Structures are given as C-alpha cells and as structure tokens.
C-alpha cells in the first residue's frame, strides 16, 4: 500500500442521502483534502432488492449540493474501477476461486428454514446464535446428494479457530474480537452475488484504501473484513469508527424518528444553505480547538484532525442548526435572501408567481424586513403571516396589552395621525408615533406595544414603522378600529 491517503464513501442506492451518511462522506472528504489525498465514491449495490430507482443519482446530487467533490467514481472514472459493485462480479469470482482452492471457503447447502431453526435452538439454550459450520466437512458425495435435491449452495468463509483479531481504531483505540465467537459466514450468496463484508474487503484492497472512516454501526463488520485481509495476506487499512448521532432524547438517530428532519434533500427544500449544513454536520462528533463554531470549507480542510473525533455520541441539536443557518443568511445580500425565501411564499400561495413591479417591490421589502431573523427559507411563511392575514386573532399575551387603560386613547390618537398622512412611509409613520406620544403623554412600552399588537397582532416583531408602512394605510386603520372594539 502506498503512503498516499485514499479514503472512500460507499453508499448503497437504497434511499436518499441521510444526515449520518452525509457526515461519513464529509469526514472522509476533509481527511483526504487535508492530506492531499484522494476521495473516492464507490456504489455498493449488491443488495439489488433494496435498491431504489434514482437512489444513486440522489446520493451524488446532494453530496455536490453540500459542496463535496470527489476524485474517482462512477461519473468521473479512475484507474481502480469499475466503481459500482454490481459491475465487479468477475473480480470477486477470481478471489472466491482462490479461497476455494486453498480450502479457506466451502459450499453450504443449508436452507433459510434450517438456518432459522438452528438459530432458534441456540437462543433457546441461552447460546449466542452463530452458524454451526455443519457444511464445513461435507464430502464430494454429500454435496452431490444435496445438489440432486435441487439445492443451490452459498459459499462460506472458513473462520480460523482460536485466533484474536485486533485493530487500532482511530477513535476507539485497540479493539479485539475472538474468532471462536464468529461462525463461518457467507461470502457469496446462492445467486452468485458477493455479500457486503466480502466485497468491501476486496474493493478496499484493490482500490488501495489507506483509511476506512465510517459509522460506529460498522464495527461488528470489521473482524470479518480483517479475516478476508488475513486470508489473502493483504495489508490492513487504518480503521476509524465514528460515534452514532443521537436525538435530544439521547436515542440513536433512526430514519423512522419523525422529530428530526433527516435527509439532505429535505433541508435543501426547506431553504437551508449548503455552507451552513456543511458546517453543522462537521461538528457532529468532531470538535476544533477553541470556541469558534463557524468555519468555511477551506478552514475545515486545514484544521480537520481525526484525533479530535469524539468518543461520545453526537447530539443532533436542531436549535443550533437553525442558529447556524441564520448566521449564514445574515451574511447574504438582500437579493440573495429574497431568492432564497420568495419561492416558499409562492409555493404557499401567499404571492403570485407573476407579479407587477409594484407587487415585487412590496414582497421584496417584506422579506428584507426579516433578513436578520430568518433561520431558513421556508420560515418566511410563518414570519410574514401578518401581512397576508385578513383578520387578527389576539393571543392571551396580546389581549393583556390591549386591555391596558391607556389603549383606547393611544389607538384613537394614532388612527387620527395615520388618517391624515398623505405619505404613508416608515419615516412619516415614525413621526406620527412621536406625535401620539406628545399628544397623550404615553411613551415607551405603554405607547409602542399597543400599536404593535393592534397593527401586527404580535408582541415582538420587525421594525414597527416599516411593518406598518408595508401593511398599508387601509389595513392599519381597520386593525386599529378592530383592536379598540
């Protein structure tokens, strides 16, 4: 194996890009770029029944959207292809032949029903379920008889007895497995397709992977892969198993957990920025030195150090993601924020797709009002609801404000000021509020809060004179009258 860093992300096209898989890809990408190495994407599609149409394209599309590029794969080629496992069967067959000739593997004729009965019996006896290796010593006559029954064999790897397989994990330190706890495992299924652990070990060797960075759920696969390396006398890559991502209840992030949005495509559709998601995901189970949390991709490449991968589960904090995305949105120009948010208002039916210049300017100004508050594009629907409502329902907090004794006087004076305005702009509205203060003697919260609640229905919100100007004179007068009633 050369000294060049070569790492891979190897998705199965069984679904869309999940946040956990995106993290695996991202850590491998940063590690490769930080060491001037190569980042490879290999498609592991041997489980044909679970593959979905478009799954492969979706994986690549959303990795690109996140800002991840690769050096070798199905779309860019490379000298170690094919990069799709289903196209590598001839390669696997060559190594299977070698194992069979060396008596390191054998045909197994057990049916699924027989294997299940064996597992159930072992569990009933309080033993850990594992294959009994009963086909290991079949004679040629035994095999012929079983084939005459119409049985198709799988091929099992002969697990060496009394061995301890160790590896120094980049995250966990030394990890060891006793071979006697692992039964002979299938390396080629009855249909001739290699199993995951077998194909992965061969591919990682032939593609010269120097490191294998992957999720903690793969650690139980490692001893089987080490056995394949050992059988062929190959050098073992350096393994690193990243801790799991957990939700706020400290439970493993499950694809069935609906409390958290889990697919990159969904975040894109909601109007999250790829740079923010890249930043957030990188901090899931990895931490830089110091307290800073906002980094560019280039900075991450420079500082990423796998020795700082956490040994504790990574907490998926949705509030933190919203905060982080908001920080990135604040750095955009107003035009860019409008481009991000406007499609969501159109989709929600709040505004038309085709608008006059005057309508466009009105919507532009409304979105601009919330630039510093906006956490993600689709949030604009909720934030701007007060501009699209025909009536206001006051909540308990708002009603308390309107019940204060000075409110009728403030409403009447403000309505009079507004009614007399010819220029309904934020500057003149601001002057009108000052005039009400002078006329009534009410100031501060006693003045501003009733006006805000009456006109917007909210106790908190954007710059008040600007909001009132965008609501329009007719709407504001109607709301003032309704608030007094």
Active site residues: 255
Tell me the C-alpha distance between 8 and 29, whole Å. 8
**Cα 425–chain centre separation:** 44
Please give the C-alpha separations between residue 459 and each of 398, 456, 466, in angstroms, as whole numbers: 6, 8, 16
Tell me the C-alpha distance between 85 and 76, whole Å. 16
**Cα 303–chain centre separation:** 22
Inter-residue contact 294 to 96 (CB < 8 Å): no
Tokens (6 digits) for 423: 């220029």
Tell me the C-alpha distance between 335 and 319, whole Å. 26
Tell me the C-alpha distance between 363 and 355, whole Å. 10
Inter-residue contact 301 to 34 (CB < 8 Å): yes
Question: Cβ contacts of residue 185 below 8 Å, gap of 6+?
Answer: 131, 156, 157, 159, 195, 197, 224
Inter-residue contact 386 to 461 (CB < 8 Å): yes
Nearest residue to 9 via CA among 1, 21, 18, 20 = 21
DSSP state of 306: G
Tell me the C-alpha distance between 181 and 360, whole Å. 69
Query: What is residue 204's three-state secondary structure?
Result: helix
């Amino acid at each position: 194996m050369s000294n060049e860093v070569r790492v891979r992300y190897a998705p199965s096209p069984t679904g869309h890009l999940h946040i956990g898989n995106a993290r695996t890809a991202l850590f491998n990408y940063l590690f490769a770029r930080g060491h001037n190495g190569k980042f490879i994407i290999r498609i592991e599609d041997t489980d044909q029944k679970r593959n979905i149409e478009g799954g492969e394209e979706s994986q690549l599309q959303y990795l690109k959207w996140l800002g991840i590029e690769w050096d070798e794969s199905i779309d860019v080629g490379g000298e170690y292809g094919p990069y799709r496992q289903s196209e590598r069967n001839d390669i696997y067959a060559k190594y299977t032949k070698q194992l069979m000739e060396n008596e390191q593997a054998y045909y197994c004729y057990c049916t699924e029903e027989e294997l299940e009965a064996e597992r159930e019996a072992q569990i009933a006896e309080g033993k850990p379920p594992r294959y009994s290796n009963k086909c290991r010593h079949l004679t040629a006559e035994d095999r012929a008889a079983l084939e005459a029954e119409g049985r198709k064999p799988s091929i099992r790897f002969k697990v060496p007895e009394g061995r301890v397989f160790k590896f120094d994990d980049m995250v966990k330190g030394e990890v060891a497995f006793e071979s006697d706890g692992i039964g002979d495992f299938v390396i080629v299924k009855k249909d001739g397709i290699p199993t995951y652990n077998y194909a992965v070990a061969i591919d990682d060797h032939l593609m010269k992977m120097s490191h294998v960075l992957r999720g903690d759920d793969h650690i139980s696969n490692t001893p089987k892969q080490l056995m394949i390396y050992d059988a062929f006398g190959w050098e073992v890559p350096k393994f690193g198993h990243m801790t799991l991502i957990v939700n706020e209840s400290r439970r493993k992030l499950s694809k069935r957990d609906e409390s958290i949005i889990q697919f990159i495509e969904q975040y894109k559709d909601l109007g999250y920025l790829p740079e923010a998601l890249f930043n957030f995901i990188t901090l899931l189970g990895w931490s830089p030195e110091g307290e800073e949390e906002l980094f560019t991709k280039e900075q991450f490449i420079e500082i990423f150090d796998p020795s700082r991968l956490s040994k504790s589960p990574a907490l998926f904090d949705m509030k933190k993601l919203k905060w982080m995305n908001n920080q990135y949105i604040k750095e955009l120009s107003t035009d860019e924020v409008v481009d991000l948010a406007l499609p969501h208002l159109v989709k929600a039916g709040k505004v038309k797709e085709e608008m006059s210049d005057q309508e466009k300017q009105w919507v532009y100004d409304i979105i601009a009002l919330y630039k510093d508050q906006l956490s993600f594009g689709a949030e604009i629907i909720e934030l701007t609801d007060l501009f699209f409502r025909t009536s206001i329902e006051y909540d308990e907090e708002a009603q308390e404000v309107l019940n204060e004794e000075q409110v009728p006087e403030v409403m009447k004076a403000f309505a009079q000021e507004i009614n007399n305005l010819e220029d309904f702009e934020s500057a003149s509205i601001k002057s009108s509020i000052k005039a009400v203060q002078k006329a009534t003697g009410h100031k501060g919260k006693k003045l501003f809060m009733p006006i805000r609640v009456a006109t917007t229905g909210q106790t908190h919100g954007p710059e008040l004179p600007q909001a009132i100007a965008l609501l329009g004179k007719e709407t504001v007068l109607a709301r003032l009258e309704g608030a007094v009633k």
